[in-house]
A and B are shown apart, each in its own frame.
Chain A
Amino acid sequence: DAGVTQSPTHLIKTRGQQVTLRCSPKSGHDTVSWYQQALGQGPQFIFQYYEEEERQRGNFPDRFSGHQFPNYSSELNVNALLLGDSALYLCASSFGNNYGYTFGSGTRLTVV
């Protein structure tokens, strides 16, 4: 049973560029959440997608946007990259409220 898969694993971008990160949820999961983890910090919630719509959003600017596809996979897009966007981006999938979240290995984004 495949877990949560994220791509790419590492990425280097230049300030001002745009980036797209991808996530495939665990089989049977229908909800995808994205988190940003800065060095030495706990993960911070960005947004959550369910039934192809953004269901909840954390305290992140509109430069951060996302999408969920009919097969439940998801993308995270970040426009006009800043140096401060350098972080580990984690995707988590879940089903309902009774079984917890499963996380992927993350995408490490470096903005130079």
Chain B
Amino acid sequence: GIQVEQSPPDLILQEGANSTLRCNFSDSVNNLQWFHQNPWGQLINLFYIPSGTKQNGRLSATTVATERYSLLYISSSQTTDSGVYFCAVEGGFSGYSTLTFGKGTMLLVSP
């Protein structure tokens, strides 16, 4: 099956700093999503981004499908950004497929 690798596994930032999270995947995809998991466990969808660039406030994401990677940018980080960020992909082969998750990046933003 498709492999998803996220880096770094852990990240500690001072409030106000910028960061970049990376997601590499092993095959072509027809879906890529970035999620933030809150302390209660809910996966909050940040971006649906199988290709291209999107921005939402202080967050933006870029997926370069031909090179099989995606980047999540967090600018001017806040303590509320703390949590686990997951990249998940859905394979591009024909037929049905489901999301495969990476192991996540644990982000801690300190005041």
Is A76 on the interface with B (CB-CB < 8 A)?
no
The answer to whether A42 has its CB under 8 Å from any CB of chain B is yes
Among A33, A35, A102, A105, the residue within 8 A (CB) of B40 is A105
Q: Does A25 contact B (CB under 8 A)?
A: no
Residue of A with least CB distance to B33: A100
- B 18-35 contacts with A by CB, 8 A: 30-31, 33, 35
| CB nearest to A33 among chain B residues | B98
Q: Which of A95-112 contact B (CB under 8 A)?
A: 97, 99-106, 108
In this complex, how many residues of chain A approach chain B with their Cβ under 8 Å: the count is 26
Q: B41 near A100 (CB under 8 angstroms)?
A: no
Distance in angstroms from A87 CB to nearest chain B CB is: 10
Main secondary structure of the interface of B (DSSP, over half): strand
Question: Would A101 and B33 count as touching, CB distance under 8 A?
Answer: yes
CB pair B33–A45 under 8 Å, yes or no, is no
CA distance A80 to B33 in the complex (A): 34
Kindly list chain B residues whose C-beta atoms are within 8 Å of the C-beta of A104: 42
- A42 to B37 CA separation, bound complex (whole angstroms): 10
Comparing B51-59, B60-68, B71-79, B99-107, the segment that makes contact with chain A is B99-107
B101 contacts A97, C-beta separation under 8 Å: no
Is B69 positioned at the interface, with any CB of A under 8 Å from its CB?
no
A105: B residues at CB distance < 8 A: 40-42
Task: Looking at the assembled complex, report how far the CB atom of B48 sits from the nearest CB atom of chain A, in whole angstroms.
Answer: 4
Residue of B nearest to A44 (CB): B101
Q: How far is the CA of A100 from the CA of B31 in the complex (A)?
A: 7
Extra A-B contacts (12), CB below 8 Å, given A33-B99, A35-B99 = A37-B41, A42-B103, A42-B104, A43-B101, A88-B41, A90-B41, A100-B31, A100-B33, A101-B45, A104-B42, A105-B42, A106-B41
Interface residues of A (CB under 8 A from B): 33, 35, 37, 41-45, 48, 50, 55-56, 58, 88, 90, 92, 97, 99-106, 108
The 9 closest A-B pairs by CB, nearest first: A42-B101, A100-B48, A103-B43, A105-B42, A106-B41, A45-B98, A88-B41, A100-B33, A43-B101
